[in-house]
């Protein structure tokens, strides 16, 4: 399913933003544009939604300066989840600004208080590339940490698990839904959308419920981490649902990692540039690994293995 391309008008400097609405910051991860975004909300209590990894901290500081801000001007950091590309720099931001309050899900909080286990796991996965990809981490002091519930800094906070068990999303009164990775990966100006299904705790039923929870709030725009701001909400969410069902069916029916990657690439071959951009932002191999783990867990537990779109 392909979406109309007119949503590109809402991307970056083309987004008709008012004061108090989210401003997209491109973190230029690994030197690439349109790969990883965080969002800044100005006003009496400047708020950052996600902060990116430590490797992008200098880029974040330069972007804040372009908005006439410094790290110590920030008052709130709202985290959609604690994957390193979203939250890796949280502890270092608090070290630079002890007045910063970090809001995260209850399940994600322990990983910020003591990130050693998360870092060890990631270092095993990424090896010598860890520092280049993600940079150093630091713990968030307990006094700076809050469990995200209800309303925070003008945003409704609500749970959106599926991509990760601890994923949450935020929605403001102007209709901006900051959905992290819950609404997939889409790189403008291209119109393809793919889900993100990495290990260890992808949950297809929860993913479906989270997409419904977002739709039920009738957002006017989706603010994606990967990457940009889009206003074709119904079409976008339906595309995530359809491709999530397709990918899930492939892996349930036995597609190997190599077969899965080949089929995903073939299905997107009509937009070669989009395919390249998507794979740079979110490689297909981790999505296969997450879905493979999901189905294996269900089979061991004797649970149904049906796919619903």
- Give the start-to-end residue ranges of the domains of the chain: 5-240
Question: pLDDT for 201-242, tens place per residue?
Answer: 899 999 999 999 999 999 999 999 999 999 999 999 999 999
Lowest-pLDDT range, 76-85, 123-132, 149-158, 181-190?
A: 123-132
At residue 214, the pLDDT reads 97
Q: Mean pLDDT score of the chain, rounded to an integer?
A: 89
Q: Which of 213, 210, 304, 199 is CA-nearest to residue 252?
A: 304
In CATH terms, 5-240 corresponds, of 3.40.50.720, 3.40.50.2300, 3.40.50.300, 3.60.15.10, to 3.60.15.10
Average of pLDDT values for 87-107? 96
Residue 6, pLDDT > 50, answer no
Strand partners, 146: 103
> Which residues, in sequence order, are CB contacts of 256 under 8 Å at separation 6+?
none
- Strand, helix or coil for residue 207: helix
pTM of this structure: 0.90
Helix axes 284-301, 257-267, angle to 10 degrees: 120
Q: Which of 184, 172, 290 is CA-nearest to residue 227?
A: 184
Plot region of 117 (φ>0 → left; ψ -120 to 50 → alpha; else → beta): alpha
At residue 277, the pLDDT reads 83
Separation between Cα atoms, residue 24 and residue 10, nearest integer Å: 10
For CA atoms 296, 301, 306, 308, give the dihedral sign.
Answer: negative
DSSP string, 81-127: ---HHHHTTHHHHHHH-TT-EEEE-TTTHHHHH-THHHHHHHHHHHG
55 neighbors 27 (Cβ within 8 angstroms)? no
Question: Six-digit token pair at 30?
Answer: 């690994």
Residue 16, pLDDT > 70, answer no
Residue 17, pLDDT > 90, answer no
């Amino acid at each position: 399913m392909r979406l109309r391309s007119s949503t590109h008008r809402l991307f970056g400097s083309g987004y008709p933003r008012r004061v108090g609405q989210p401003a997209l910051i491109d973190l230029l991860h690994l030197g690439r544009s349109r790969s990883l975004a965080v969002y800044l909300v100005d006003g009496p209590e400047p708020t950052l939604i996600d902060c990116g990894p430590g490797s992008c901290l200098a880029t974040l500081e330069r972007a804040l300066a372009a908005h006439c801000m410094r790290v110590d001007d920030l008052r709130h950091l709202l985290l959609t989840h604690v994957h390193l590309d979203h939250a890796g720099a949280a502890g270092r931001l608090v070290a630079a600004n002890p007045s910063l309050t970090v809001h995260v899900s209850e399940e994600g909080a322990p990983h910020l208080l003591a990130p050693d286990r998360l870092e060890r796991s990631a270092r095993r996965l990424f090896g010598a590339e860890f520092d280049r990809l993600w940079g150093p981490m630091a713990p968030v002091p307990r006094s700076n940490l809050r469990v995200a519930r209800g309303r925070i800094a003008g945003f409704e906070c609500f749970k959106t698990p599926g991509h990760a068990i601890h994923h949450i999303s935020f929605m403001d009164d102007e209709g901006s839904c900051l959905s992290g990775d819950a609404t997939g990966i889409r790189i403008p100006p291209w119109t393809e959308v793919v889900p993100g299904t990495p290990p260890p705790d992808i949950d297809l039923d929860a993913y479906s419920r989270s997409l419904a929870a977002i739709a039920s709030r009738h957002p006017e725009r989706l603010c994606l981490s990967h990457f940009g701001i889009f206003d074709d909400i119904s079409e976008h969410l339906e595309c995530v649902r359809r491709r999530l069902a397709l990918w899930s069916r492939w892996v349930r029916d036995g597609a190997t990692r190599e077969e899965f990657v080949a089929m995903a690439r073939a299905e997107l071959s009509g937009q070669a540039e989009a395919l390249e951009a998507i794979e740079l932002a979110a490689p297909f191999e981790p999505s296969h690994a997450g879905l493979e783990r999901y189905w294996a867990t269900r089979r061991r537990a004797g649970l149904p293995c049906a796919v619903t779109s």
